[in-house]
Structure 1
Amino acid sequence: MTIEINNSSKQVITDLNFFFAFESAHVYQDLGKINKLEPGETTSLYSPLIKGTGNDRSLFFQYPVNITEIAVESLAYVA
């Protein structure tokens, strides 16, 4: 699986974490972290193997909202 990330904002983005979650087995797979992405910059993360089987796969990313708070967003769900 390859995830391409493009910072189309005018701000520096930091500490993006991407992971898969398999709800039926409560398995989490870290797909990678982007420490810093400059405005207009594009990068990608590659994972050669998606572990876990079955249904209910969700792709998430988390990012800092401020110094003490982290948000988690769902990017995709495969039933």
Structure 2
Amino acid sequence: MNSIPAQEIQRRGMSAVDELLRQGPVQVIENQRARYVVLSTEDYERLTAGPSAWDWLERPSRATRDKSAIDADLSAERDAWDATP
């Protein structure tokens, strides 16, 4: 993941973030710690398009899945993220 110091954003503005967003999400570093993550609109929409963690917790049918089913779902989701350009 790309990162940028908050001071760099203050100095250069959002153009500094725009350059890094072309390569993926950007962590904003403040006081030597990752404080924020900036996503492109496309990444945000893809991230929020599917069921949220709350959906998984609230659906009884999903709560009955065993560990291997959950692991398989998570693996498929990770593979989909890796396959995205």
Settle same-fold status: TM greater than 0.5: no
Higher relative contact order (CA 8 A, sep 6+): 1
> Is the helix fraction higher in 1 or 2?
2
Taking structure 1 as the reference length, the TM-score comes to: 0.25
TM (normalized to structure 2)? Answer: 0.24
